[in-house]
Amino acid sequence: MQPTDIVNQSREIHDWIVDKRRIIHRNPELMYEEFETSKLVQKTLSELDIKFQKDIAITGVVATLGDGDGPCVALRADMDALPIHEETDIDFKSEIDGKMHACGHDCHTAMLLGAARLLKQNEDKIKGTIKLVFQPAEEGGAGGKMMRDEGILENPKVQQIYALHVAGTMPMGTLASREGTLLAATSTVKIVVKGNGGHAAAPHETIDPVVTGSKIVVELQTIISRELNPLDSGVISITMTKAGNASNVIPSTMELQGTIRSLTLEGINKLQKRVKEVAEAIAIANRCEAEVIFLGNDYPPTINDGDCWKLGKTSAMEILGDDKVSEMSPIMGGEDFAYYTQQIPGCFSFIGVGNPEINAVYDVHHPMFKVDEEALSLGTAIHVNNALKALDSLRDD
């Protein structure tokens, strides 16, 4: 297929893609709870007469297209929402209080469904196999790791994998990525400071965990400012605190939570070690005890293969135009797409959905996050072009 044909066919189903996105947007589901979203994906694939496997990593779906003779590539979209209350003015806003597709995974799923439709329409042109991966639990649940461990990269073996992520601060119709490390390794930390509570009027008769916890928050910042090489990148952000229920009572415990980030797994491990050492030492110095726990999964850094980014960049230029595709610097966000690229070459790219004319100016994870939906059919076209060009490239090898 020529890129112009792909763009034209994507435009023809634009309204269909938008409709899928809006259905998903109204009904956001958190990680490993994407049952209705998964059903919509399955129903759509069935209507398109596309073979798929369901219930992978609880709610995940993997569809397969092509003649099965030759190389195999994969396209991935995540499906989960965030525990954020939506504050936008759109008429299809979330119908579930406290839940929102604030990271654009509704867009990712819709764009990949659009790619499924176009690829099925042109299945006779697919010389090889294309897997479409609809993944749960990117937002902290490491759904990518579970999907990978349940074998989605095998039978047939996937040789390359690609993904798109919407970006609210990039203009609609643009794309950016880079070779090498694109996104950070991430970890979640919980620190429970234990003291001895009592009446706030008699602090000398207590061991105050709030003062101790506050010292820990401040001191952790010096790990970054005074121990990390200024040429390296790292983040320690304490974002949640919980202590006490009354203004005249010193509580017995204080809980802190936050995130640790580095561009390498080695860097994450070093920062984790120092967070534990600093928190425990400050607690002891203040007659308290600190329990340091690293919650959930440590995401690896997302590293783009050079050849995959070269192909992805060319593919995007053919759809968007040469001046709309650019190289970007690494950022400290994290992505469980990294679990796939630990095993096979891949490329993760950002597609712009920003447009000040419709107040689409907020980035992901914001309650006012909004997208210019004109980007959706472009994303579908990029997916299709990526997959077909990757198969061609692998056959030539």
Domain at 53, CATH number: 3.40.630.10
Task: Show the tokens assigned to 76.
Answer: 């991935």
Phi/psi of residue 336, nearest 5 degrees? -80, 5
Q: Are residues 268 and 144 in the same domain?
A: no
pTM across the whole model: 0.94
- Domain region containing 215: 185-299
| Residue finishing a domain among 299, 332, 356 | 299
Q: Are residues 38 and 126 in the same domain?
A: yes
Burial class of residue 51 (count of CB atoms within 10 Å of its CB; 0-12, 13-18, 19+): exposed
CA distances from 220 to 230, 236, 274, 275, 341 (A): 16, 7, 9, 7, 31
What's CA 340's distance to the chain center, in Å? 13
| pLDDT for position 397 | 73
Q: Name the packing angle between helices 306-320 and 3-12 (round to 10°).
A: 60
What is d(CA 83, CA 100) in angstroms, rounded to the nearest whole number?
6
CA atoms within 13 A on the CB side of 358: 16
Q: Are residues 251 and 344 in the same domain?
A: no
- CA proximity to 283, closest of 187, 188, 189, 196: 196
User: How long is the chain?
Assistant: 397
Q: Are residues 26 and 132 in the same domain?
A: yes
| pLDDT for position 396 | 80
CA distances from 250 to 217, 245, 270 (A): 18, 9, 34
What is d(CA 251, CA 243) in angstroms, rounded to the nearest whole number?
6
Residues 6+ apart with CB under 8 A from 282: 212, 215, 216, 219, 290
Domain count, the chain: 2
Task: Show the tokens assigned to 238.
Answer: 């304490």
Q: Are residues 221 and 200 in the same domain?
A: yes
- The DSSP letter of residue 396 is H
- CA proximity to 370, closest of 73, 126, 169, 123: 169
Q: Are residues 165 and 129 in the same domain?
A: yes
What's CA 154's distance to the chain center, in Å? 23
Q: Are residues 52 and 78 in the same domain?
A: yes
Q: Are residues 235 and 276 in the same domain?
A: yes
| Residue finishing a domain among 277, 299, 321 | 299
Say if residues 49 and 106 touch (Cβ distance below 8 Å).
no
CATH of residue 232's domain is 3.30.70.360
| Residue finishing a domain among 299, 329, 359 | 299
Q: Are residues 97 and 177 in the same domain?
A: yes
The segments of the chain whose pLDDT lies below 50 read none
Q: Are residues 99 and 237 in the same domain?
A: no
Alpha helices, DSSP H, located in 286-373? 306-320, 338-341
Say if residues 107 and 376 touch (Cβ distance below 8 Å).
yes
Say if residues 134 and 29 touch (Cβ distance below 8 Å).
no
Q: Are residues 165 and 32 in the same domain?
A: yes
Q: Are residues 21 and 156 in the same domain?
A: yes
What is d(CA 252, CA 248) in angstroms, rounded to the nearest whole number?
13
